[in-house]
Each structure stands twice: as structure tokens, then as C-alpha cells.
Amino acid sequence: MFEITYRGGNSVVITTKKDELFIDANQSANGLKIPKLKDAVQLATEKRFLVDSDSERPVLEGPGEYEVGPFAITGLETMHHVDNDGTMKATSYRIVVDNIVVGVIGNIQSDLNEDQLEKLGLVDILVVPVGGGGYTLDDKEATSLVRKVEPRAVIPVHYNDSAINYEVTQDDVSLFIAELGAPVEDHAKLKIKSANDLPATLTVYKLERL
């Protein structure tokens, strides 16, 4: 059993009975408070999203394969979405927990190539930014990626929120929901006991920012 909570921006937390994986914890650039991580494992799609911490738990960022507690993690090198000279990288992740695969997509350019899609593999739940604005995937780009990955559920992140001062104006999540055309379930947090809890057909889980 595990839970997924949304913390704003690209930040989500995957929590099991004994462990916590905090993804992109540092959202201070978006006007959000830096959380106290305590014993959480940090995972970041970009170095700037890491939080300085005295915790002895691992801090993970970049391509590679990692085993931490119940989490089996594969990091995939991708290109950052904004215009650059080819040196600005971001990392997307395949995370296996309780035999369920969670894909986490950072602020990437508009598509993943065949090699990246193969490494990402089969995904049950895909966490994908949808706000656009030239900063991250927009509704159409995110929809295209979802259709290629073919997850059973998708969690949209990094969209317009009146409480967040994004660096670039973000679109409302309703644009992505309309473009994808899949049923939507609203949750404060997503609780998954087993694969049987996942939907039979593609569903959007819209999580409350906590």
C-alpha cells in the first residue's frame, strides 16, 4: 500500500508504511515553502529542486538505477523544455513500488524518443506537467505523451494555481483534461492498496495540492 500526494509545481510525494519518497521538494522558485524532509528520500528531476537537508537518507538526481527501501528507481536523461544549447538536462523517472510502476516526467521538451519510451516501459500511473507557457509540456504535448506511454492513470501537475507564483504563466488543468478526454476523479490524496485499485481504462486523478 502507498499514497501519492501533490505538493504543487512538479512536486509529489510517494509514501509507504515506512518510507517516503519526496520528488522535486524545492518549489521555492514558485513561491512555495521549502518542506522539512526529516527522513524522506529525495528525488529530483533537476538539481535546483533539491533541498539542503541534514537527513542521512539518500539524495538522488540524474540518470541511473537506484534501490532505496521499497523503491526501485530508473532515471532517464531528457532535454529540458526551455530553449538551450543542448546542455540543459532534466531527468524523468520510472519508479516501481509494491509492483506498481509510477512514471514521473519533469519539465522536458515536447516528446520522448523511442529509446526513452522503451526505458520508461509499461507504466501504471504517469505524473506529467501540463501547464505549458514554453516552460513545460502544454495540454496537447502532455496528451500526446500520455497516449504514447499508455498508462492506466495519469496525475497532471504544474498547472495554474492562484496560490502559486510560477516563473512562467501556466494554463489551467481543464485544458489538458478536455484535450485528453478521459474520465476524471478528484482526490485529496491517492491511496493505492494493490493493482486492483487501478482503473481498467485511462483515468485522470486530479489531486488536491496539500
pLDDT in tens, 60-77: 999 999 999 999 999 999
CA-closest candidate to residue 112, choices 120, 102, 104, 123: 120
> What local confidence, expressed as pLDDT, does residue 120 receive?
94
Residue 206 CA to residue 75 CA, distance in Å, equals 25
Q: Residues of 72-110 as b/e, b for ≥16 C-beta within 10 angstroms? A: ebbbbebbbbeeeeeeebbbbbbbbbeebbbbbbbbbbe
Which pTM value belongs to this model?
Answer: 0.94
* Average model confidence (pLDDT) across the chain: 92
Is the model's pLDDT at 36 over the cut of 90?
no
Residue indicated by cell numbers 519539465: 107
Share of the chain above pLDDT 70, in %: 96
What's the CATH code of the domain at 199? 3.60.15.10
Q: Which of 37-41, 193-197, 204-208 has the highest mean pLDDT?
A: 204-208
Tell whether the model's pLDDT for residue 103 goes beyond 80: yes
Supply the DSSP string of 144-182, one letter for each residue. Answer: HHHHHH--SEEEEES---TT---SS----HHHHHHHH--
* Total number of domains in the chain: 1
Does the pLDDT of residue 86 top 60, yes or no?
Answer: no
Tell me: the pLDDT tens digits for 141-162?
999 999 999 999 999 999 999 9
pLDDT tens digits, one per residue of 4-19: 999 999 999 999 999 9
What domain range is 159 assigned to? 2-207
- Work out the percent of the chain whose per-residue pLDDT is above 90: 75
